[in-house]
Amino acid sequence: MGGLDDYKPAIAMLGLQFSYACVALTTRTALLQGMSPRVFVVYRQAVATLFIAPTAYFTRRKSGSCSLGLRSFFLIFLAALIGVTINQNIYFEGLYLASSSMASAMGNLVPAVTFVMASLCGLERVNFGSLRSISKIVGTVLCVAGAVSMALLRGPKLLNAELQPANSVLGSGGENWLLGCLFLFGSSCCWSLWLILQVPASASCPDLLSLSAWMCFLATLQSAILALLTEREPKAWTIHSSLELFCCLFSGLVGSGLSFFVQAWCISKRGPLFSAMFNPLCTVIVTALATIFLHEELYIGSLIGAIGVIIGLYVVLWGKSKDLLESNEETKLQIDEAGKVRISIDESSGKTIDLEEPLLPDKSSVSIRK
């Protein structure tokens, strides 16, 4: 059996959610200090490009991979535009206008949207008579419901502190808050579409390091053009503190450079829904870390929602594991049958050719007649 290899994608996605949580907390702090969200996206992608491009270049030279084709370039360009440039810009705008809890909760719509998109594209099999399909649907609903309850349900306070920033994220309510929620919802849709695009992109460009490097590079160019059009003041490009510098470096190295490679690898192994189903864990981690380090309030509703997220994730992973087991059994059966196939070439004589034997005789036994 696969042993530890079967759990590597889950372990990788779990570590990725911890990194996303740290990026979210540090980014929120940098934005509150006055850093422009659009400029931050440019710096983040530039750092990611400088980190991953040399690695991809030297790795590709050793492997001798083929050059990037036009179709591959178009898919990577589209994935960078939707999943990075548009997604990150409207996400950070939503984070700035709404709140961190709403941002993390809205991000958990990704599994539901991804499940619908993957089903429509044929990447996920849906059979309402199958327990596996039902478990994936129920688990998705539990994850989304749990994530939403973490942001909306209150109840008694479990942990709180009176240390709250005086200018905590601008959206205390009103039009800014609603606009922020719309931005965050659009970001979730872009993220889901990006996960779907990873399937044809990784198939067209199997070198995942090169795929990630090109995506970071194109996203840097796209984000820079957007920032130059929207940020007229040169002061917006200035980094004012060591915290902002650390945030740009950390989010670029881990949040973009490393995460793009890990996401592409996990999607190539388990599919887009598997990757999307780990997003709700980020809400749980952010809530826990924000409560401990930023002294944010924790309510009983948040705890109930976190439990729902964990249960839902387990249910979906159970369904996906059954899909993987069935797929492995089908592949093994096809291999076993292929090894025993015999093709009849002369029904009258009953002669057959065994495909286990070579179709061509050994070169030493071939005589050439002129």
Rounded mean pLDDT, 134-153: 77
Q: What is the model's pTM?
A: 0.69
Q: Is 219 helix (H, G, I), strand (E, B) or coil?
A: helix
The residue ranges of every structural domain in the chain are 21-132+163-279
Please check the confidence at residue 95 and state whether its pLDDT lies above 50. Answer: yes
pLDDT, one tens digit per residue, over 349-368 is 454 444 444 444 444 444 43
Backbone dihedral angles phi then psi of residue 198, each to the nearest 5 degrees: -65, -30
Segment 3-7 long-range contacts (CB within 8 Å, at least 24 positions apart): 6/324
Gap between the Cα atoms of 244 and 246, Å rounded: 5
Report pLDDT for 99: 67
- Helix then strand then coil, % of the chain, to nearest 5: 75, 5, 20
Q: Give the rounded distance of the alpha carbon of 329 from its chain centre.
A: 27
Residues 6+ apart with CB under 8 A from 172: none
Low-confidence winner among 135-144, 207-216, 292-301, 353-362 (lowest mean pLDDT): 353-362
pLDDT, one tens digit per residue, over 238-295 is 888 888 899 899 989 888 888 878 888 888 888 777 777 787 777 778 777 777 776 6
Structure tokens at 142: 């539990």
